[in-house]
Structure 1
Amino acid sequence: MPKKINKPFWSMTQTSQTEASINIDGEITTYQWDKSDTTGASFRDDLKALGDVDVINLHINSPGGSVFEGISIYNQLKQNKATINVYVDGLAASIASVIAMAGDTIFVPENSMLMIHNPWTYCVGNSAELRKQADDLDRIAESSVTTYLAKSDGKISEEKLRQLLDEETWLSASEAVEYGLADEVLPANQMAASISDEFKQRYQNVPSALLKQTKPATPDTSAMRQKMINRATKTNQLIKQTLGGF
């Protein structure tokens, strides 16, 4: 029987003794708001549970999420001995695009997109704390720059890459291949790039086609605000713990 581990936003399935599929179909989470949320640690445990396979087919349709959790997932995939084939089924935005760089080969359908930008966070505090937060974000950004440049193999200069990151750039499939951030354009599929209202508000330059999508039911904004405050507080604590020695 195939091994299958289902989550709301992702799944891992061992399709044969030598091949497995991983699907990331939502936000990359930092904290387990409930038992169904996925973190880098749970991804590691389930990846290990798949056992030794020769090929992993990673399908991504994600608006991004936690930088640290995404980097953890990227490193886990890079350290795995399997050949990693990445398929950007719809959208690989923000840290999800960094995870995509783990692919030995990255396939992008004509109607899919990659979005790259500099990391950001919610922050509260005095002027000194805000300045430190900005410095920390600059340090965190370097890991993404290194990852993109390694994949591009010289097809994009560091200067051009930093410009694209500064401008929050939404790359078409052909542009991603041109810059070395993908390897092959595939025919368009039925899973076109999409994004939730939360991420439409968070990002600066969302393409008009994504902005015109039908809006889901309006969530409880008070609960969302409290969740954002809690997330910001925990993220700031994590950054201080991780970068405190810099």
Structure 2
Amino acid sequence: MDELLKKLFTFKNETATSADLYFYGDIVSDWWGAWQDEDQYPDAVKNFLAEHQGKDLNIYINSGGGSVFAGIAIYNMLKRHQGKKTVYVDALAGSIASVIAFAGDRVVIPSNSFLMIHKPWADCVGNSDDMRKMADDLEAIETGILNIYEEHLKEGVSIDTIKEMLAAETWLNGQQAAEYFNVEVGEEKAIAAAVTEQTKKFCKSIPEEIMARKRAEEKALEDKKDQEKRNQLTKIAIAAMSTAI
């Protein structure tokens, strides 16, 4: 289990006083929900923070979000962490990942990266009472999320404005995000946004710019695999010719 937990996090430039933490997948509730190595969940984050008590953290985010309660738990754990926390949104901090981003003491969003905010979603099966309760629960969850956003608004920005942006599902690039929130605009990064099937399911209006970058990354990866396959076939052919000679 310890080895698996280590795989879930990428460490770079780890020192006696700092460590790097990556959120590069979906935010899930627990180990069973982590289908990809990049998926993160509260227990893994808790173990990471325990191992790096008191250290400064560089937190890198490229995530479309996931479980609301898992994300809020992670946000609260990061907020309690004793050490300076710098968050870099490498491509996308969407949905509950946008909440996690605001756990940083300093938040840097490049001009070509995105902060996406929207109303919380949920699947619901049941009768009319179940549906009404789910609607009430979602409104309560939304209030909790808005409370976090409100703590990080630029002076003069009304939380009512952010509430309207949630209702409309709003995608903000770094420059736009800095108009509403206390964030810095960073240098552009050539990283495709982490648009997973879950992101596509719960988002209504993913910008074409993001999807184009995603398609370009997938094509580059496919081309690389094809080239590796051709190289391997060439090596086999050469080896066969040598044997025949």
Q: TM-score, normalised by structure 2?
A: 0.79
Q: Distance in 1 between matches of 2:6 and 2:46?
A: 14
Q: Deviations over 1:2-36 (max 9, x none)?
A: xx96334x435671111111111010011332676
One of 41, 51, 63 as aligned partner of 2:43: 41
- 1:61-140 equivalences in 2 (<5 Å): 61-140=62-141
**Match for residue 206 of structure 1?**
206
Q: Distance in 2 between matches of 1:80 and 1:171?
A: 28
Q: Deviations over 1:52-95 (max 9, x none)?
A: 21x21111000100001100110011111111100000100000
User: Following TM superposition, by how much is the alpha carbon of 1:200 offset from its aligned partner in structure 2, in angstroms?
Assistant: 2.0
Task: Tell me whether 1:184 sits opposite 2:164 in the alignment.
Answer: no
**Match for residue 30 of structure 2?**
31
Cα RMSD between the aligned structures? 2.2
Q: Deviations over 1:100-126 (max 9, x none)?
A: 001111011111000001111111000
Report the identity percentage. Answer: 37
**Match for residue 54 of structure 2?**
52
Name segments (4+ residues, structure 1) moved above 3 Å: 4-8, 10-14, 34-38
Q: Deviations over 1:194-234 (max 9, x none)?
A: 41244223211110122344397xxxxxxxxxxxxxxxxxx
Partner of 1:210, secondary structure, is helix
Q: Are 1:168 and 1:204, in contact at CA under 8 Å, matched by a contact in 2?
A: yes
Q: Are 2:118 and 2:169, in contact at CA under 8 Å, matched by a contact in 1?
A: yes
Q: TM-score, normalised by structure 1?
A: 0.78
- Give 1:25's aligned amino acid: Y
Q: Distance in 2 between matches of 1:105 and 1:206?
A: 26
Q: Distance in 1 between matches of 2:119 and 2:147?
A: 13
Compared CA separation, residues 34 and 62, structure 1 to 2 (3 A): closer
Compared CA separation, residues 203 and 29, structure 1 to 2 (3 A): same
Partner of 2:32, secondary structure, is coil
Q: Distance in 1 between matches of 2:23 and 2:49?
A: 13
Gaps of 5+ in 2: 219-245
Q: Deviations over 1:113-172 (max 9, x none)?
A: 000011111110001100100000100111110111101153420110100000110011
Whose helix fraction is larger, Structure 1's or Structure 2's?
2
Partner of 2:215, secondary structure, is coil
Higher gyration radius (CA): 2
Partner of 1:123, secondary structure, is coil
Partner of 2:76, secondary structure, is helix
**Match for residue 16 of structure 2?**
17
**Match for residue 232 of structure 1?**
none
Compared CA separation, residues 192 and 156, structure 1 to 2 (3 A): farther
Q: Distance in 1 between matches of 2:198 and 2:142?
A: 22
